[in-house]
Amino acid sequence: MTLVTKKILAIASAGGHWHQLMALRPAFATGKVHYATTLRGLPEQFGLTSASLIPDCNRSTPFRAALCTFILAGLILWHRPNVIVSTGALPGVIGLALGKFLGAETIWIDSVANAEELSSSGRLAKRFAKLCLSQWEMPARKSGAAYAGSVL
Amino acid sequence: MIFVTTGTQLPFPALVDAVAAMANKLDERIIAQVGPDKTYRPDIDSFDHLDPDRYEAFFARARLVVAHAGIGTVLSAIKHQKPLVIMPRRFELGEHRNDHQNATARELEGRQGIYVARTEREIASYLLRNDLVPPNQGSSPKSAQLIGYLQKYIESAA
């Protein structure tokens, strides 16, 4: 078997979502990773050179969500990732939905901030993620997501 | 220096006011990132938003960080090895869209280096202590488990 380097697109909004993605970076070490986040300067802060800026959006910003979808679709078509992974929030859900449609492996890691139930983005992401992880056992049990540890 | 951070999305005046009220009892600079909060507080240096560079720089220089119970802040405190006092935002006071920070605070309570304050008075008492220790660094067993699981999953993915 030949070991092919996986192309990974890792998406996280700025803030806690991004910090969790950074904490999980060792998991992507064997792949070629392109990062997407919502705040200028953030990838550089963590020494990442392969990264793109995407518009932040949430449920109350439909226009930005559409723009974000458009830009993520471009990124996915350009980079052709084998795996798309996100720690949240809505931009990550959009990335996973597009990824599922375009045949990529999709992974959602729900924010560790959600200790009691899956986040609202997580509930949405569950439809598109082949692997949906909660970082707490209780929300995993309640939602049917998997549990495999946490960043804390 | 004490660094106060409330995240960028929502104001958290209860927390910032609690620290500002202690300014005259503390002989050190207080720098605060307060989000969309226009209150003028003469005793502290406040910024509504900090770009990542400056945020990291203030974090690195702080003796103590006082913050909302946001996960980004908790992970930064572990990374920079800073004692962290967190006050959860409460839904019933309109401080957040739901009560998840309370759940986070409950889960983190009692961990080394993370001090949970639920009242202004508790914030004040933590500010006056000089025996606060930084959080445990390095990979926790749970984080090693998650990273290992993801790594295997990605390697075996088609």
Question: Considering only CB atoms, which chain B residues are within 8 Å of A30?
Answer: 151, 154-155
Residues ≥6 apart with Cβ < 8 Å to A102: A76, A77
Contact between A24 and B146 using a beta-carbon 8 Å cutoff: yes
Fold of B2-156: Rossmann fold (3.40.50)
Tell me how close the Cα of A69 comes to any Cα of chain B, in angstroms.
22
Q: What integer is the mean pLDDT of A85-106?
A: 97
Q: What integer is the mean pLDDT of A18-24?
A: 95
Tell me how close the Cα of B24 comes to any Cα of chain A, in angstroms.
31
Q: Looking at this predicted complex, what is its ipTM?
A: 0.94
Selected residue of B97, B111, B154 to mutate for chain A interface (largest A Cβ count, 10 A): B154
Per-residue confidence (pLDDT) for residue A3, from 0 to 100: 66
Task: Give the integer Cα–Cα distance in Å for A134 and A146.
Answer: 6
Strand partners of residue A52: A36
Nearest to B107 among A83, A115, A151 (CB): A115
**Which structural domain, as residue segments, surrounds residue A57?**
7-147
- Pair of tokens at residue A6: 């996986």
Helix (H) or strand (E) holding A133, with range, is: strand A131-134
Residues ≥6 apart with Cβ < 8 Å to B80: B56, B59, B60, B62
- Asked if residue A152 belongs to a domain, the reply is no
Q: Which of A64-68, A107-111, B53-57, B103-107 is least confident?
A: B103-107
* Residue B71 near residue A111, CB atoms below 8 Å: yes
Residue A77 at interface with chain B, using a CB cutoff of 8 Å: no
Pairing relation of β-strands B64-68 and B84-87?
A: parallel
Per-residue confidence (pLDDT) for residue B134, from 0 to 100: 94
Burial of B98 (0-12, 13-18, 19+ CB in 10 A): middle
- Pair of tokens at residue B17: 């006011």
- Asked if residue A38 belongs to a domain, the reply is yes
Residues ≥6 apart with Cβ < 8 Å to A16: A111, A113, B70, B71, B72, B73, B75
Residue B156 at interface with chain A, using a CB cutoff of 8 Å: no
Tell me how close the Cα of B27 comes to any Cα of chain A, in angstroms.
31
- Asked if residue A48 belongs to a domain, the reply is yes
Question: Considering only CB atoms, which chain B residues are within 8 Å of A135?
Answer: 146
In chain B, the largest separation of any two C-alpha atoms, in whole Å, equals 61
Per-residue confidence (pLDDT) for residue B137, from 0 to 100: 72
Examine the pLDDT at A4 and tell me if it is beyond 90: no
Residue A96 at interface with chain B, using a CB cutoff of 8 Å: no
According to DSSP, residue B124 is labeled H
Per-residue confidence (pLDDT) for residue B138, from 0 to 100: 65
Q: What integer is the mean pLDDT of A22-37?
A: 96
What CATH number is attached to the domain comprising A66? 3.40.50.2000
- Asked if residue A2 belongs to a domain, the reply is no
- Pair of tokens at residue A42: 């953030």
- Asked if residue A32 belongs to a domain, the reply is yes
Residue A73 at interface with chain B, using a CB cutoff of 8 Å: no
Per-residue confidence (pLDDT) for residue B158, from 0 to 100: 62
Examine the pLDDT at A135 and tell me if it is beyond 70: yes
Tell me how close the Cα of A9 comes to any Cα of chain B, in angstroms.
12
Q: Cα A76 from chain centroid?
A: 13
Contact between B154 and A131 using a beta-carbon 8 Å cutoff: no
Domain count, chain A: 1
Per-residue confidence (pLDDT) for residue B98, from 0 to 100: 79
Task: Encode pLDDT of A109-119 as tens digits.
Answer: 999 988 889 99
DSSP string, A50-75: SEEE-----TT-HHHHHHHHHHHHHH
Contact between B53 and A41 using a beta-carbon 8 Å cutoff: yes
Locate the chain B residue with the closest alpha carbon to A19.
B72
Task: Give the integer Cα–Cα distance in Å for B101 and B91.
Answer: 9
Closest by CA to B129, choosing from B45, B44, B63, is B63
In chain A, the largest separation of any two C-alpha atoms, in whole Å, equals 48
- Asked if residue A103 belongs to a domain, the reply is yes
DSSP string, B41-67: -TTSEEES---HHHHHHHHHH-SEEEE
Terminal C-alpha separation, chain A: 36
- Asked if residue A11 belongs to a domain, the reply is yes
Residues ≥6 apart with Cβ < 8 Å to A70: none
- Asked if residue A24 belongs to a domain, the reply is yes
DSSP string, A90-114: HHHHHHHHHHHHTT-EEEEE--TT-
